Amino acid sequence: MSHPEKPAPKAVYVKSYGCQMNVYDSQRMADVMGAEGYREVATPEEADLILLNTCHIRERAAEKVYSELGRMRIIKEEARVAGRKVMVGVAGCVAQAEGEEIVRRAKVVDLVVGPQSYHRLPDLVARAGVRPGVVDTEFPVEDKFKALPAASEARTRSRGLTAFVTVQEGCDKFCTFCVVPYTRGAEVSRPVSEVLAEVEKLAAAGVREVTLLGQNVNAYHGAGEDGSEWTLARLLRRLAEVPGVARLRYTTSHPREMTDDLVEAHGDLAALMPYLHLPVQSGSSAVLKRMNRKHTRDDYFRLVDRIRRARPDIALSSDFIVGFPGETDADFEDTLDLVRQVGFAAAYSFAYSARPGTPGADMDGHIEEPLKTQRLHALQALITAQQHAFQESLVGRTVDVLFEKIGRKPGQVVGRSPYLSPVQVIGPSSMIGSIVPVRITGAKTNSLDGVLAADDHMRAVHAAE
């Protein structure tokens, strides 16, 4: 007697744009749908549910989403012709900002969900299956993190040895160029117990390195295990005690929130990596004031000095916006001067683009595009030179490398240095998951070559003999 075949489990494809928080959110969306029986797939053509997790930081972000939705419309139609139903959802910050406009402009979209509501995905998918055009961009009263299902151990293991964990969301700073307060809401912090439970589960699944995420992660003020409000520094000290967690990082920081205890943690915690992303945005105090950053260039210099006194081997990266309304040639020269004085291992730099609804968009003194482009190229040339110099400074040094995967060449394994640089060596695949000393022998723009320090030592012994 033949039995009817069970239907194959449905598949979900999540495409993530923008920041690390979106990567984390995309993973959690996949976890949410995984708990509903969906398997995650690598291409939209394989999926029954396509989710575009969008970012709204850059200009024309919404238009790029609509362009991508044009491709999804073709995929959805081809599936329909083949007798298969595909649903398309837009999530993230463009979803939050555009809302109903997305389903009005793009009929291919079945549901729209903001970054604070993705724990409701199963219900939204069910509703959209009956009547497409569901929109949820509210800021719900319930804590989405408490409502999210835990990822399975198999799913966690499949994501590798490093993991992101969101500990803080939203922003109260209201920089005049930024949409985050409007798309992510006010600053909120997860309780210590929730963060600790998530990190412990990750460590149990083999994760060795955890990066804590937040729009202003160093503004963290979560409820502690003892009932008091914990700072990010105190949270880091607690997480450093979790067995299996060998490395900790955090991003993105605001200079105003680099408290004394957090600076001290960089000097005290071996697990806290000596690489800090500390956005300054401009080297001009006048521009910083118009940006509502609430710090000056001299404040930034003093902060860098404090951090480097606590951790002399620390490397810094940053963010820069050039061509903000009213930026003069002298203001831009102040930015170049700050870069020269501080010295960065890396930096992200952008020409200012007005975001609708932000105060910067309505300011006087907008800069012509050719001048913004000219300034951006000059800044990027300086930053690239500093990045090369930093990479070269590591040649000859021995650094600890967390090996993560097999390399492209035979016998090659690849890991990351404490400074996030990929490091390639010839060695056994059994090193994957281990932290091993490596002597750096060569530097490229974005990666390093090295030899295992143990092999290097043995060669030296044989040469002496």
pLDDT of 393-449, one tens digit each? 999 999 999 999 999 999 999 999 999 999 999 999 999 999 999 999 999 988 999
**141 has a pLDDT exceeding 90:** no
Q: Please report, rounded to a whole number, the percentage of residues in the chain having pLDDT higher than 70.
A: 90
CB 12 within 8 A of CB 43: no
What is the C-alpha separation between 434 and 423, in angstroms, rounded?
14
pLDDT band at 103 (very low <50, low <70, confident <90, very high): confident
Q: What is the mean pLDDT of residues 82-91?
A: 93
55 marked as part of a ligand binding site? yes
* Residues in contact with 223: Cβ distance below 8 Å, sequence separation at least 6, in sequence order: 189, 191, 192, 193, 229, 230
What is the C-alpha separation between 30 and 151, in angstroms, rounded?
9
Q: Where in the chain is the domain with CATH 3.40.50.12160?
A: 11-136
**2 has a pLDDT exceeding 60:** no
234 marked as part of a ligand binding site? no
pLDDT per position as a tens digit, 207-216: 999 999 998 9
Q: Where in the chain is the domain with CATH 2.40.50.140?
A: 398-464
**137 has a pLDDT exceeding 80:** no
The residue type of 175 is: C
Look at residue 26 in the predicted model and tell me its pLDDT: 87
The class level of CATH for 398-464 reads mainly beta
Question: Which of 219-228, 232-241, 344-353, 454-463 has the weakest average pLDDT?
Answer: 454-463
The matching CATH number, chosen from 3.80.30.20, 3.40.190.10, 3.40.50.800, 3.30.70.20, for 149-393 is 3.80.30.20
11-136: which CATH topology? Rossmann fold (3.40.50)
Element (H, E) at 416: strand 412-416
**462 has a pLDDT exceeding 80:** no
| Cα 267–Cα 272–Cα 275 angle in degrees, nearest 5 | 90
Q: What is the mean pLDDT of residues 237-255?
A: 96
238 marked as part of a ligand binding site? no
Look at residue 145 in the predicted model and tell me its pLDDT: 63
Q: What is the mean pLDDT of residues 76-90?
A: 93
178 marked as part of a ligand binding site? yes
Global pTM value: 0.81
Look at residue 457 in the predicted model and tell me its pLDDT: 46
Alpha helices in 117-250 (DSSP H): 121-130, 144-147, 153-158, 180-183, 192-204, 232-239
Look at residue 464 in the predicted model and tell me its pLDDT: 42
Q: Please report, rounded to a whole number, the percentage of residues in the chain having pLDDT higher than 90.
A: 68
As a whole number, the mean pLDDT across the chain is 89
Q: Where in the chain is the domain with CATH 3.80.30.20?
A: 149-393
